[in-house]
Structure 1
Amino acid sequence: MTTESVWMPPSSLALLIEELAVLASQPSPDAATKERIRELRKTLSQAEASIKPDDGLVEPGMRITAMLSGDTRATVFLLGERELVSLDPEVEVEVYSPSSPIGQAILGSYVGDTVAYTTPTNARIEIEILAAVPYTGGR
């Protein structure tokens, strides 16, 4: 069985490792703590905290600049799991999940591609990928 990796900023990985160490050092953890330890171990076993290559591929860990149909300004966001990325207080950019409709539509595309997705309200939105660069922190 292959497990998919889950990208997160290195600072988020460090916080999860620290939390696990604190919880695992408790002499008699309660059921909720034991469950949290299991969750943390699973997340950490799938963790990927590397800086992605600057190859124009849209994947988790990339800062995306895109133009959505009907917009006059480009949208900038980080593609990643919101709950993991939000652990890093330095992240100052919007975060879109790879499993969201827009995330699924753009995942695997490249700079210059135009892809489309259907919103939950059945609107068809086209997205042109203007840039996809490795996220290295901040904005």
Structure 2
Amino acid sequence: MRAPITAKGAQRLRDELDNLKSVKRPEIIQAIAEARSHGDLKENAEYHAARELQGFIEGRIKQLEGELSHAEVIDVTRLNAGTRVVFGATVTLADVDSDEEKRYQIVGDLEADIKLGLIAISSPVARALIGKNEGDTVAIAAPAGSREYEIVSVEYVG
């Protein structure tokens, strides 16, 4: 099965890949060449640090290329699910007890970033929301116990 990813998330990963290949990789090659010119490689900390960073960069490039080649890009703006929560939905939730609102977009595992309000489709919160409609109340298991939220709005924005 191909992993779903939003068009915006796929673009973010492509931008990171492009930066690694066109900026970071040449920088590290230059740093390795410079460190080599300093002589004995056995006790050359700059050389070993640069080689380690090169390994990390090459690993990340391979990871991104693999993930992008196996991802199914979904254009969220073309989804026509109305007020039903499906992949790509941006959902505003209100805590039933405190009225505190939270806003999340349900995205693929590859692009999830809670600091940006992007939650993975495989997360407990997303699984509790999928299939529900605007106006529904859902119970979401949290570390401090189950919390009830009302789905205030469901949007499909790019």
**TM-score (normalizing by structure 1):** 0.66
| Larger gyration radius, structure 1 or structure 2 | 2
The one-character-per-residue Cα deviations of 1:27-62 (angstroms, maximum 9, x if unpaired) are x89433331122111221215251241422323422
- Number of aligned pairs? 128
The one-character-per-residue Cα deviations of 1:91-123 (angstroms, maximum 9, x if unpaired) are x963333333322211232223322122123x2
CA distance in 2, matches of 1:57, 1:110: 4
Contact 2:4 2:74 in 1 (8 A): no
CA distance in 1, matches of 2:98, 2:55: 49
Amino acid at match of 2:155: V
1:18 aligned partner:
18
- For structure 2, the 5+ residue unaligned runs are 30-50
Which structure has more helix as a fraction of its residues?
Answer: 2
CA distance in 2, matches of 1:69, 1:35: 45
- For structure 1, the 5+ residue unaligned runs are 87-91
The one-character-per-residue Cα deviations of 1:8-31 (angstroms, maximum 9, x if unpaired) are 5164144145246538x86x8943
| Percent of pairs with identical residues | 19
2:128 aligned partner:
105
The counterpart of 1:44, out of the listed 68, 83, 86, is 68
- Alignment partner of 2:58: what SS? helix
- Alpha carbon RMSD of aligned pairs, Å? 3.4
The counterpart of 1:125, out of the listed 147, 151, 154, is 147
Contact 1:7 1:80 in 2 (8 A): yes
**TM-score (normalizing by structure 2):** 0.60
CA distance in 1, matches of 2:109, 2:139: 22
CA distance in 2, matches of 1:48, 1:72: 35
